[in-house]
Structure formats: structure tokens, C-alpha cells
Amino acid sequence: MQDLSLEKAVALLKEHCHRVSAVEEVPLLQALGRILAEDYEAGFDNPPFDRSPLDGYTFAAESTAGHSADNPAVFKIIGEECAGDFFDKAVPEGSALRIMTGGAIPKGCNCVVRQENVTAAGDKLTVPFSIAPYTNYCYAGEDIRKGTKLAKKGTKLTAAHIGVLASMGFATVKVLGNVRIAIASTGDELLQPGQPLAPGKIYNSNLYLLASRLQELGFSPEIVGILPDDVEEAAKVIAGYKDRVDVFLTTGGVSVGKKDIMHGVVEKVGQRLFWRVSMKPGGPALAYTMGDTLGIALSGNPFAAYATFELIAVPVLSKISGNEKILPERVQAVLTDEFPKASKGRRFIRAYYENGKVRLPEQHASGSLFSAVGCNAFVDIPAGTGKLAKETEVDIVRLYRVK
């Protein structure tokens, strides 16, 4: 089988997506972290009425013109209004209404004075100063004007979004349907963090990296754990997910080593779609179908797993979920550092992109993860490229929201 280009590999996987998830309507309190399936717009001004920001008195400010401590303005208090009440009559000139914070300012009034600054005795209010119209006055729509775009389709809902949607009366929201994803790592060398380190062993970082990245992208993967380097055993576990998940994601065991079990697993559980993609890192990526489930088996090297996850798996997850926002974005940028190695084949290197410029860390090995921290892009280096000098214009793949 000839190596496929990255684009062809992604296209092949997309052709085999059997399920595109349906939009769900969920109660607002269950929507945190979910992805909006449509744009949300304000249907009314919020607050819906002009209101008081203080506990005090409201009246027509004009009646205080020219008044002072020596010559205070005097009003007749004709009633009171708390937040939630609605005083539906107009307040006549020379009259005032006691009002609490959040109360609707009635007709005939256009200011509020703090109760500490005035004197009330029986129904007589004494105001020892003059006050300009619309002082201490909150307008309807001060927070959100009718028609404001509250959140766009594809937004991952944060606590603040949920609060805003609640303030606009939405009891439920339409979100993209959940994509069912299971994730496992393969390798007898792997230990779970928390276990004591032992000779020849390493900790399983891939599963933590990719499961977390999936969550960043708005997915909730099922964590399968570590599968042993044993075809029978691994195949048994993976076959248990057939048709139960949309995507079964693994790392490791896809190259040509003695323990590279995923080839044997695929023979047992499904049909191979491709093996090997013309790229570094992660070239030995393997993909298969298992009934309606897509299997994506990425290389074990942590940076290879990360890069191929973004470049191969994310476009597929974008298609299944209907969330185009998570797709890596292609832009051009100018290198601020040199990359001294020639690239025989197509290569993706980690980078930090900002304002048209792209910086490179020192370490680029597939087995090194640390230097990817803080990176937010990959440089896409075409096959047959020599050393890259500073100031070279390069193609960049920007990752979704990695800051």
C-alpha cells in the first residue's frame, strides 16, 4: 500500500463517517462546555425596564433646580416600590416615590437619590441639593440591547455564556450532539501516573494529552485506559466498542516492531482504510472501520500522536460533530528562527504563531512533548525542503484556541 497524502487520508476517513451527530436541546444547567448549534440573539432589552441602582427616592430631577441645603426641595412621598413591584401610575410633579435597588423607575421620574443623602419624615421628603436628570438612573438595555448577538454557533459555552443566556430567559439551548469517542493507549511499557516508576517503563502521557485536548475541543471521551501489547486481548477490548462509539482512538503499536499490535488487531476487528501517511511525525498512522465505528490508530511518540490527532482526527471529529470551529486554520507566516534541518518528506514542526510571525522551540523530536507546551501551531514544511532560514515565509496550521 502506497503512503497517502494527509489530505487524502482525511478525505478517506470523512467518507467513512457513518453518523453525523444530531443537534440536541438541553436544559441550560446541562450546557456548560457544550457547543452551540445555532446563533443566539437577544430578543429584548435587558434590563427590560429603566431601573434604580440604589435604595432611595425617585422623582423629576427638574424640581430640584436651584435648590440647596439652605433652600431644599420638598416632595410628597406617594408610595414605595421594591424590586419586582411595578408602580404603573405616573408620579406627578412635586411627588416622589420610595424605590429600592432594582425597582422600575416610574413615569414622571428621571433620577434617584440615595436615602442616606435626603431626609424623609412621614410623607415629606427633603432634598438638600439639586440633581441633574438621569443621575443614578439605569436604562433599559444597559446590559444587552435587543438584537445583540449573544453567542455564535460553534461557541463552547462557558459559565459566563450560561449566565447571559439565563438573563435572556433561555431555559434550554440547542447544542451539537455528543460525538461518542473512546480513547486508549497501547504499550506494555506504559504506567499510569501515580504508579511507581519501574525500569524500562514510562508514564502514559498520550492518553492524558489527547483526552484533555478532546475536552478542550468540547468532547467528552470515554477513557478505556492502557491496552496490553497482545493482539487477542487488545482486539477483545476494542471490538467491545464496535458500533457503540463513533471513533475509537488509540496511540502506539502502528509501526513495524514486534509488538506493533494494531495491524493484528485491525485484522480481527474490522477493515483497514489506510496505513501510513506521507508526513512526519506520525507517518505510521493507521485507520480502519469496525462496523459504523471509525478506528484511528496514531503513533505512540507523544508529539507524533499530538500532531496527527490535530491533523487527522480533528477534521473527522469536526465532520461528525458539525463543529467547524475546531478545524485547524491555515495561514502564512514569517519565521523568526531558522530551522536547520532539511525535510526529505513533508514535515510538521511545532511552533508559536502571533501576528504573522512564527517562533520555533529548540526541541523537535517526535518523542519530546515538553517543547510543545505553549505552541499553538505547526509549520507545514513541504517534502524536499532544505534548511529554512530566518524570515522565510512558511505555511502554518493554527490550532483551535491554544493560547
Ligand X SMILES: Nc1nc2c(c(=O)[nH]1)N[C@H]1C(S)=C(S)[C@@H](COP(=O)(O)OP(=O)(O)OC[C@H]3O[C@@H](n4cnc5c(N)ncnc54)[C@H](O)[C@@H]3O)O[C@H]1N2
Q: Which residues bind ligand MOO (CB under 6 A)?
A: 280-283, 299, 301, 304, 366
Between 289 and 366, CB nearer to ligand X: 366
Please state, in angstroms and rounded to a whole number, the distance separating the CA atoms of residues 57 and 38. Answer: 43
Partner from ligand X, ligand MOO, none contacting 251, C-beta within 5 to 8 A by type: ligand X
**To the nearest whole angstrom, how small is the minimum distance from the Cβ of residue 386 to ligand MOO?**
19
With 0-12 / 13-18 / 19 or more C-beta atoms within 10 angstroms meaning exposed / middle / buried, residue 335 is: buried
Cell triple for residue 90?
405616573
Please enumerate in sequence order all residues whose Cβ is within 8 A of that of 170, keeping only pairs 6 or more positions apart, or say none: 28, 40
Question: Backbone phi, then psi, for 52, in 5-degree steps?
Answer: -90, 135
> What are the start-end ranges of the E strands in 317-371?
329-335, 347-354, 357-359
Where do contacts with ligand X occur on this chain (CB under 6 A)? 185, 187, 189-190, 202, 204-207, 251-257, 260, 281-284, 299-302, 304, 366-367
206 binds, among ligand X, ligand MOO, none (CB under 5 to 8 A by kind): ligand X
Q: Which is nearer to ligand X, 207 or 312 (CB)?
A: 207
Whose Cβ is closer to ligand X: residue 313's or residue 358's? 313
DSSP secondary structure letters along 197-231: P-TT-EE--HHHHHHHHHHHTT---EEEEEEPS-H
Other Cβ atoms less than 10 A from the Cβ of 260: the count is 18
Shortest distance, position 298 Cβ to ligand MOO, whole Å:
9
Q: Which is nearer to ligand X, 252 or 315 (CB)?
A: 252
First to last CA, the chain: 38
For residues 232 and 290, give the distance between their C-alpha atoms in angstroms, rounded to a whole number. Answer: 16
Q: Nearest Cα to 162, choosing from 41, 325, 170?
A: 170
Residue 260 binds which entry of ligand MOO, ligand X, none, CB below 5-8 Å type-dependent: ligand X
Least CB distance from residue 253 to ligand X, whole Å? 5
Residue 257: name its binding partner from ligand MOO, ligand X, none (Cβ under 5 to 8 Å by kind).
ligand X
204 binds, among ligand MOO, ligand X, none (CB under 5 to 8 A by kind): ligand X
By C-beta, is 218 or 302 nearer to ligand X? Answer: 302
Closest distance to ligand MOO from the beta carbon of 367 (Å): 7
56 binds, options ligand MOO, ligand X, none, Cβ within 5 to 8 A by partner type: none
